[in-house]
Chains A and B, each alone.
Chain A
Amino acid sequence: MALAPNMPKSWRAETKPHKFCPGCGHGLVLKALGECIDELGIQDRVVFGCDIGCSLLSWDFFNTDSIQTHHGRTTPVLTGVKRARPDRICIAYMGDGGGYAIGSQHLVNAASRNEKITTILVNNCNYGMTGGQMAPTSLPGMKTETTPYGRDVELTGNPTQGPEMVAAITPEGAYVARGTIANLRQLRKMIKKALETQINGTGFSFVEALSACPTNWRTNAKDTLHFVEKEMTKYFKVGELKVPGEKEGK
């Protein structure tokens, strides 16, 4: 008899198996998030908001109240909820395009205002849902559908350093980290700390998760993991950038 995989209690079993591509990182990030919701016992207080892009597939992922928004607009919708209902735990879930391109003004300003919400941003170096175009996070030289000869940083700039930017503009009390699906135990700790930051009401919380998109990267399992662990981390340093009550830059 095959062992059933452990699903977080807060996952909605009726909507599983989920609809992400084989090898996609979203399922892992959402599992880490689900486990954190379980551990903190906040399932009945969570309002989960998902962006457009692959993240939209998470609209019925949890047994929590959930709002699918527009591309880039999850941060203001969840800000709107939190401001009206401060007792809710508001989680904005998005990709790198939604957070760093079309919705960057919302991310920057929510961080500046120190909104008491949690943003989880999945960085897979490209726009997955639309077929693998260049994202703000595509690596230098990386081939995508809109950079078929490789990303030329002279023309398109360097990959966006999201957590570094958020850490720079948030006041003390915020939580900022970059995790990776290559280290789920660490990613789970980061998401838990982010949610605790919101629960404690000390500030904005932001976790970027380095993730994988084998469908658009056109990589096999080995190369996919290699890209996440070795290539992405050259530009995106994994670790905590800001922790409430701790000196920065530890």
Chain B
Amino acid sequence: MVDKPIKGEKRYFVTGNEVVAWAALAAGAEIMYGYPITPQNEVMHYWTRLAPKYNRKFLQTEDEISAGFATCGGVLSGARAFTATAGPGNTLMQESMSMAEMMKIPTVVVVQQRGGPSTATVIYSQQEVTMTCFGANGEGLRVVYSTGSHQELYDYTIKAFNTAWKYRIPTFVLGDGYQAKMRESLVMYDPEERGIKMVPTEKIVGKEGMPGVEREPSHLRNTYNTEDELYDVVEKLVRDFWQAAPEIVEHQEFDCQDAEIIVVAHGVVTRAAQAAVKELRAQGKKIGHFRPVTLRPFPREAMKKAIANAKELIVVESAEGQLDKIVKAEIYGCSKPITGYFKPGVGITAEEIVEFINKRG
């Protein structure tokens, strides 16, 4: 019997990529399939150093297309499997994730966003929101957790496996290069010791027993012959997704109750938004902050409630309006003015949010 990777609770001061590798180990992930791309590389570096000690496996594939599809294969065979990527790699991985969407394959993908479009920078952005939520030829039937700290990278990487396997929905942990590369303190723990039960995996192919004799064979398809046949399948996928959505959505709100202006931000930018709210409140201004943790499905009802008393919304993000577009679609019918503070591929500080709001008077 191999020891558990994490026993008890321990405080660490490490990079986000290391956190992801430890979290996947603690969650009982059996195999990682990966392809090098910055700023995600150290997830693989730590995984490959740790995995053999705990009887886990790794395969370095020829590209992200292969990493995504091999992850699908691993998951179908019943393994708690995952991959990690970024930027152009995320683009390539969307093909396999559309198959995961169609065939309800509970894949887990950690995305450390880098600049875009194209190769852009290896550093940071929030420009993979649209792609991660709605990529490929599909309907966006995925779960996307947008993390803002190392503790959340740890918590949500573990949670991603459970969400994926419980609902059979491909699940993403959407981090970014800042979270990937910086060091921060967090508490690592064994999920079971915290009362987090890991959802058991299941062999979707390669089951026991003679197929066609002792049991029906697993015949998995993604191609359909007629529009009607496809419609029935997609309609069920959509129904299942929205049925699960209320149990999946997560958000945080800060001083929204009496706020006149509410800053909407996700991921690492929530930290700047939270600090800006503190500062502006100290200045006597009625400011609040709403943070969707799940970008897909989006915490629509919670947001509608949180902004009910506000006069105005300001969407702040390191992208040219990708969150903004989602917000506007989700709260359709809301007549409050929405202003964007967009810095595609650039970090956002609390000071500039404060300045932006103060300049508006």
- The reply to whether the CB of A73 lies closer than 8 angstroms to some CB of chain B is yes
The 8 closest A-B pairs by CB, nearest first: A80-B73, A63-B212, A80-B70, A109-B62, A65-B205, A84-B79, A76-B69, A76-B66
- Interface pair A70/B217, CB less than 8 Å apart: no
Flag if A65 contacts B69 (CB, 8 Å). Answer: no
Using CB atoms and an 8 Å cutoff, list the residues of chain A in contact with chain B.
10, 12, 43-45, 47, 49, 52, 56, 59-60, 62-70, 73, 75-85, 88, 105-106, 108-109
A68, B218: Cβ atoms closer than 8 Å: no
Q: For residue A10, which residues in chain B have a CB less than 8 angstroms away from its CB? A: 212
CB contacts under 8 Å to A, within B1-58, are 30-31, 33, 57
Q: Tell me the complex Cα distance, A106–B74, Å.
A: 16
Knowing A84-B74, A105-B63, say if A66 contacts B218 (CB, 8 Å). yes
Chain B residue, CB-CB nearest to A52:
B223
B77 in contact with A64 (CB, 8 Å): no
B220 on the A face (CB < 8 A) = yes
Chain B positions within 8 Å of A79 at CB level: 59, 61, 66, 70, 73
Closest-CB distance, B108 to chain A (whole angstroms) = 13
Please indicate the chain A residues that have their CB under 8 angstroms from the CB of B76 in the complex.
Answer: 67, 77, 80-81
Q: B213 at the A/B interface (Cβ < 8 Å)? A: yes
- Are B73 and A77 interface neighbours, CB within 8 A? yes
Q: Is B66 a contact of A109 with CB atoms below 8 Å?
A: yes
Query: Which residue in A44, A68, A105 is a CB contact (below 8 Å) of B211?
Result: A44
Cβ-defined partner of A84 (8 Å) among B69, B78, B207, B212: B78
Bound: A83/B51 CA distance, A? 14
Contact at A76–B61, with CB atoms within 8 Å?
Answer: yes
Contacts of B213 in A (CB 8 A): 63
Knowing that A84-B73, A106-B65 are A-B contacts, what are 16 other residue pairs whose CB atoms are under 8 Å apart, sorted by A's residue number? A44-B210, A47-B77, A47-B206, A49-B73, A63-B210, A66-B217, A66-B220, A67-B73, A79-B70, A80-B73, A80-B76, A81-B74, A84-B30, A85-B78, A106-B62, A109-B66
CB < 8 Å A-B pair total: 138
CA–CA, A66 and B73, complex, Å? 11
B217 touches A64 (CB 8 A): yes
> Closest CB-CB distance, B54 to chain A, in whole Å?
15
In the complex the two chains form, is A84's CB within 8 Å of B77's CB? yes
Which one of A59, A83, A105 lies within 8 Å of B221 (CB-CB)? A59
Q: How far is the CB of B67 from chain A (nearest CB, A)?
A: 8
> Are B212 and A81 in contact, with the CB atoms below 8 A?
no
| B96 at interface by CB-CB < 8 Å | yes
How distant is the Cα of A66 from the Cα of B76 in the complex, in angstroms?
10
Contact of A80 among B72, B212, B218, B222 (CB under 8 A): B72
User: Does B95 sit at the interface, judged by CB under 8 A?
Assistant: yes
CA distance A79 to B96 in the complex (A): 14
State the CA gap A63–B77 with chains docked (Å). Answer: 17
Residues of B within 8 A of A60 (CB): 217, 219, 221
| B59 / chain A contacts, CB cutoff of 8 Å | 79-80, 83
Q: Is the CB of B79 within 8 A of A85?
A: yes
Bitwise, B184-211 to A at CB < 8 A (1) or not (0) is: 0000000000000000000001111111
CB distance from B52 to the nearest CB of A (A): 14
Cβ of A81 and Cβ of B211 under 8 Å apart? no
Knowing A59-B223, A68-B223, the reply to whether A12 touches B205 (Cβ < 8 A) is: no
A85:B219 contact, CB within 8 angstroms: no
In the assembled complex, B81 has its CB within 8 A of some CB on chain A: yes
Tell me the complex Cα distance, A47–B223, Å.
18
Assuming A60-B219, A64-B217, is B70 touching A70 (CB within 8 A)?
no
- CB closest residue in chain B, given A108: B62
Q: Which residues of A contact B61 (CB under 8 A)?
A: 76, 79, 109
CA distance A60 to B72 in the complex (A): 19
CB distance from B165 to the nearest CB of A (A): 15
- Whether A83 contacts B69 by the Cβ 8 Å rule is no
